[in-house]
Structure 1
Amino acid sequence: MPRITSARVIVTCPGRNFVTLKIETDEGAYGIGDATLNGRELAVASYLTDHVIPCLIGRDAHRIEDIWQYLYKGAYWRRGPVTMSAIAAVDMALWDIKGKLAGMPVYQLLGGAAREGCMVYGHANGSDIAETIERAHEYLEQGYKAVRLQSGVPGLAATYGVSGERFYYEPAKGSLPDETVWSTSKYMRHVPQLFEKGRNALGWDVHLLHDVHHRLTPIEAGRLGKDLEPYRLFWLEDATPAENQAGFRLIRQHTTTPLAVGEIFNSVWDAKQLIEEQLIDYIRATVVHAGGITHLRRIAGLADLHQVRTGCHGATDLSPVSMAAALHFGLSVPNFGIQEYMRHTAETDAVFPHAYSLSNGLMHPGDKPGLGVDIDEALAAKHEYKRAYLPVNRLEDGTMWSW
């Protein structure tokens, strides 16, 4: 049995901050896991170094389930983004090790491929509707079958999802959080225009998505969903904060637009009511913030019983390690729906060489043993950590609001 002999945390910033856990065994195999928590990276790094790693030394690396339960139940203080991101990093690294020792890619250990590839969607962001549509055309020319449309809102200086980069969106920056201003009424007037023009320009053979980013009340979300019904969205994402899961019941009463939520969920308990009452159509929990491959499979299993499909978060605040893990997971589960894919910068790709690939709108994790991704530690060391925060949001009268 492979015994864990050492583990260490690697913090690097090749354009943005990433936290990586590397676990080594006495049989020479090692595995890596992503522990990045956007804007709170060092909290997870400390949790791993000070509290988790000492408990791993000497354990059988093959006992993934037992180690997961040990770290979850044994800490007494359960769930939460810091704890679950740390557990996820361990879980990913152990699956990586198991795959390497078996000589197989992780998706084969999860039951094999359930499809030829994972459909992904890109982000078409523009300062106005015309620019957003132009960006969407660029994605379609690259073979994408699904595109998320986000546009600047007239009268607002900044809008979620819109940046100066054509294919990248990185909101975390600065030594202190940026403060942005929000108007629900201006947004609600603008979005139906975006999708009316978007559907007319892009046609009906492309899946169109949109992210509200938790900014509406349930009744406002229901109204927006109804307004968007003629344009047949693939989904309306994060329409309202989901701490009160029953809030989605009110949205369901007013619209048939498919609903997606869950990128900030940490466990199956965050999604239990939403799934069991079929209040959502897609669960967006991600491998790094929801306890790794082991726990994400449980969430997907519950979702499958209720005809809810997966649509995992995949922004650039997840390292290529998480992207690979998400693709192994997505390739294997029966109720896969779609995978978000924001391309990393060339700097990041150099630090994290990987086997996954994109072709004609589908991604595949590759067939290298394990997760198929590595970390160049020498190169990582050249990119020092830089503190960065996500923005905060206020209404026009100064009231704090969901960003």
Structure 2
Amino acid sequence: MSRITDYELFEVPPRWLFLRIETSDGVVGWGEPVVEGRSKTVATAVEELMDNYLLGEPVNPIEDHWQTMYRGGFYRGGPVLMSAIAGIDQALWDAKGKQLGAPVYELLGGAARDRIEVYQWIGGDRPSEVAEEARQKIDEGFSALKMNATEEVERVDDPATVADAVDRLRQVREAVGDEVDIGVDFHGRVTKPMAKRLAKALEPYEPMFIEEPVLPEQNDALPDIAAHTTIPIATGERMFSRWDFKEVFENGAVDVIQPDLSHAGGITEVKKIAAMAEAYDVALAPHCPLGPVALASCIQVDACSPNAVIQEQSLNIHYNETSDVLDYLADPSVFDYEDGYVSVPDGPGLGIEINEEHVREQAEKSVDWHNPVWRHEDGSVAEW
């Protein structure tokens, strides 16, 4: 019986943390356990879980490992623990798939599709010059885009702020036409009253969804916001387990959920969240502004989830200033995008081959990414 014998963690640019586990039969599995800007904290959590629960244990009982890591501690949930569990879970599925010679999606019931649509980011944190960038991305073959709606937004802001957001979306819609989907990310920067105003104002330009119209702490406001618009509402990147998603399923306000495969408990947990969503007629669009292991994990779940509709990916995203998704792959063609879609990889495990030599070289560099702290004009902290 193959057992978990060793592990290593690699903090690599631009802001990622990779986990390498090794088994007694020489198989290597890769995971991506990270909270962006808190990689050292999550690395410590991974070490605690690996050392306390997993070293010396068999690879195969992944569900039992998940339950042990989650329920073995009295205090549960939250971004740090769930991201640590997520990366370990990814690595275990990768190793198990390689041992059995099958892609992870085959182990989860088999494929429901051959490919999944992807969208490309435009505009950066402070969105500007989006129309020209939108045209460029469509010319490159993408069929869907996503952009931030605003910069900082006051709790109750002026009409110019709303007009600026509307103007940006209008320019993009006019640049790319009606056959391109455009997601608009509020990024949790917006309060409930402004979310209602913005949603109503953006509606004529028919965004694919408005994302995180309020912070997860204010999810109880989502039914009221949903009542003010016909635009689909998406949320979930800062929700970490199926228990976090219960409320938004039950109140019926959310149309698209966006759990993150590196934050919400990994493949094991997000597959369950996706199945819950299907029962409530809610679509799945996993959050993934991260690296190649996270993206590969997302695609494995997309492949076997009938309600998956589109996949975020971070190639050329504004965060990736020093390294990018494909840099860490031995064969980057596995993520070739064609007609706005990525094919489901058919290789064993996660279906990717990590360039381990490159990972080790990059891990020698200093990585200290933290998101910026924004402030309003009066000096108070603003949501980024």
Q: TM-score, normalised by structure 2?
A: 0.91
| In structure 2, distance between residues paired with 1:219 and 1:129 | 22
CA contact (8 A) 1:132 1:150 kept: no
Query: 2:192 aligned to 218, 223, 231, which one?
Result: 218
Provide the aligned length of Structure 1 versus Structure 2.
372
Change (3 A) 1:86 1:320: same
Query: 2:261 aligned to 278, 287, 300, which one?
Result: 287
Q: After superposition, where does 1:9-48 map in structure 2 within 5 Å?
A: 9-13=9-13, 16-48=14-46
Deviations 1:7-61 (CA, angstroms, capped at 9, x unpaired): 2222222xx1321111111122121110121110001111112443342112110
CA contact (8 A) 1:281 1:308 kept: yes
The answer to whether residue 347 in structure 2 is matched with residue 373 in structure 1 is no
Give 1:141's aligned amino acid: D
Counterpart secondary structure, 2:129: helix
Deviations 1:203-240 (CA, angstroms, capped at 9, x unpaired): 11111111111122223212211112211111011111
| In structure 2, distance between residues paired with 1:222 and 1:330 | 31
Q: Which runs of 5+ in 1 are unaligned?
A: 154-158, 160-180
The answer to whether residue 232 in structure 2 is matched with residue 258 in structure 1 is yes
What residue in structure 1 maps to residue 77 of structure 2? 79
Change (3 A) 1:107 1:357: farther
Give 1:237's aligned amino acid: E
| In structure 2, distance between residues paired with 1:187 and 1:313 | 27
| In structure 2, distance between residues paired with 1:213 and 1:108 | 34
The answer to whether residue 303 in structure 2 is matched with residue 326 in structure 1 is no
What residue in structure 2 maps to residue 187 of structure 1? 161
Deviations 1:308-357 (CA, angstroms, capped at 9, x unpaired): 11111121xx2210000001111210110211122056844333335333
| In structure 2, distance between residues paired with 1:63 and 1:23 | 15
Change (3 A) 1:197 1:388: closer
Query: 1:399 aligned to 360, 377, 380, which one?
Result: 380
Give 1:335's aligned amino acid: N
Change (3 A) 1:27 1:116: same
What residue in structure 1 maps to residue 4 of structure 2? 4
Query: 2:338 aligned to 359, 369, 372, which one?
Result: 359
Instruction: State the shift of 1:126 in Å.
Output: 6.8
CA contact (8 A) 1:223 1:255 kept: no
CA contact (8 A) 1:8 1:49 kept: no
The answer to whether residue 320 in structure 2 is matched with residue 343 in structure 1 is no
Query: 1:387 aligned to 351, 358, 368, which one?
Result: 368
Change (3 A) 1:24 1:308: same
The answer to whether residue 181 in structure 2 is matched with residue 207 in structure 1 is yes
| In structure 1, distance between residues paired with 2:132 and 2:107 | 41
Give 2:329's aligned amino acid: F
Change (3 A) 1:202 1:378: closer
The answer to whether residue 281 in structure 2 is matched with residue 311 in structure 1 is no
Counterpart secondary structure, 1:244: helix
Q: Which runs of 5+ in 2 are unaligned?
A: none
CA contact (8 A) 2:102 2:349 kept: yes
Counterpart secondary structure, 2:63: helix
| In structure 1, distance between residues paired with 2:43 and 2:179 | 44
Deviations 1:76-130 (CA, angstroms, capped at 9, x unpaired): 2101111011111111011101111111111222222212211111112179988
Counterpart secondary structure, 1:369: coil
Give 1:326's aligned amino acid: C
| In structure 2, distance between residues paired with 1:85 and 1:126 | 25
Counterpart secondary structure, 1:245: helix
The answer to whether residue 57 in structure 2 is matched with residue 59 in structure 1 is yes
CA contact (8 A) 1:32 1:374 kept: no
| In structure 2, distance between residues paired with 1:150 and 1:402 | 13
Q: Please, what is the CA RMSD of the aligned residues?
A: 2.1
CA contact (8 A) 2:216 2:238 kept: no
| In structure 2, distance between residues paired with 1:296 and 1:63 | 17
Counterpart secondary structure, 1:381: helix
Counterpart secondary structure, 1:199: helix
Change (3 A) 1:127 1:23: closer
| In structure 2, distance between residues paired with 1:353 and 1:79 | 34
| In structure 2, distance between residues paired with 1:192 and 1:66 | 49
What residue in structure 2 maps to residue 166 of structure 1? none
Deviations 1:164-219 (CA, angstroms, capped at 9, x unpaired): xxxxxxxxxxxxxxxxx655434312111222232223211111111111122223
Counterpart secondary structure, 1:289: coil
Instruction: State the shift of 1:74 in Å.
Output: 0.2
| In structure 2, distance between residues paired with 1:127 and 1:60 | 44
